[in-house]
Amino acid sequence: MLRRCFQDLINTLYPKTCPSCKVKLNTQAIEISICSSCKARIKKNIPPFCQSCGRHLERESLNKSICSDCSRRKLSFDRAFSPCIYEGVIKELVHEFKYKAKIDLAKPLSEMMINFINEYSLPINYLDLIIPMPLHKTRLREREFNQAEALSRQIACFFKKDLANDILIRHRPTKTQTNLPIETRFVNVENSFSVRKETHLEDKNLLLIDDVLTTGATSSEAAKALKKSGANIVFVLTLAN
């Protein structure tokens, strides 16, 4: 009873709001982190998908099964998937989650990824490990948590998969990719990942988790390091692209 009264007082003094539109949320439903209106406005990534980066294929690329961007470069991962388009509400939610440490968003955001896996029958049963995209130790100190790891924990728990959050290392600090030109992004992350010594990845099928895929440069470089250490298949799953 005392605990409930204390929680009611906290909710009154600091009402929980939707991180996107800032509307006050129902305090009786503590598990709700996003209002229904904003959730309905999240733009879904729908098929047909590019068989490399996972983006929706536009009409001019349908006969190639790969988008024009991916046809111009070789990415090291085998295939990427994303349930959402990185614009509007989802972009706002990722910003709140990633830069303002709204850690309670990990559950609803990861649920979108889990639902996507189930809806499109992604081969989760054939994957050996789930690996979150690591942050460099300097960036981790600044943010105090790794958003990719928070998403990965939820997904690994749901599908009862092993989470390997310490084998992929980001050993070189890089500039943020956000404002860099496309080709510069690939140069920026070159040779920035390594795999911990004495890690056995031979013939392992891996799922690499991150929040957003843009050019695919970071995911590709991480996959390159994993494959160099013996990984067989590296799929990438991000919340949005």
Instruction: Read off the pLDDT band of 16 (50, 70, 90).
Output: confident
The residues pairing with 237 across neighbouring beta strands, listed in sequence order, are 81, 209
Task: Specify the pLDDT at position 128.
Answer: 97
Kindly report each contact of residues 63-69 with a partner whose C-beta sits within 8 Å and lies 24 or more positions away, as own/partner.
Answer: 69/215
Q: What 3-state class would DSSP assign to 174?
A: coil
Distance CA 184, CA 21 (A): 34
Distances (CA, A) of 142 to 18, 98, 145: 24, 11, 8
Distance CA 210, CA 222 (A): 11
- Pinpoint the residues of the chain covered by CATH 3.40.50.2020: 42-240
**Which residues have C-beta within 8 Å of that of residue 226, sequence separation ≥ 6?**
131, 168, 195, 201, 206, 208, 234
Across the range 62-75, mean pLDDT stands at 86
Burial of 77: CB neighbours in 10 Å, binned 0-12, 13-18, 19+: buried
Task: Specify the pLDDT at position 6.
Answer: 42
Nearest to 241 by CA among 218, 217, 211: 211
Considering the chain, what is the average pLDDT of its residues?
Answer: 87
Across the range 168-178, mean pLDDT stands at 79
18-60 pLDDT, tens per residue? Answer: 888 888 887 555 566 788 888 899 999 999 999 999 999 987 6
Structure letter (DSSP) for residue 132:
E
Q: Is the pLDDT of residue 230 over 60?
A: yes
Architecture of 42-240 per CATH?
A: 3-Layer(aba) Sandwich (3.40)
Task: Specify the pLDDT at position 233.
Answer: 97
* Percent of the chain residues topping a pLDDT of 90: 60
Q: What 3-state class would DSSP assign to 101?
A: coil
108-144 pLDDT, tens per residue? Answer: 999 999 999 999 999 999 999 999 999 999 888 888 8
Task: Specify the pLDDT at position 9.
Answer: 42
Is residue 235 within 8 Å of 79, Cβ to Cβ? Answer: yes
Instruction: Read off the pLDDT band of 3 (50, 70, 90).
Output: very low
Instruction: Read off the pLDDT band of 205 (50, 70, 90).
Output: very high
Q: Which two tokens stand for residue 71?
A: 């046809």
Place of tokens 């250490």: 229
Distance of CA 35 to the CA centre of its chain: 21
Residue 73: what are its φ and ψ, rounded to 5°? -150, 155
Distance CA 171, CA 194 (A): 7
Q: Is the pLDDT of residue 7 over 70?
A: no
Lowest average pLDDT, out of 14-28, 51-65, 76-90, 222-236, goes to 14-28
Structure letter (DSSP) for residue 109:
H
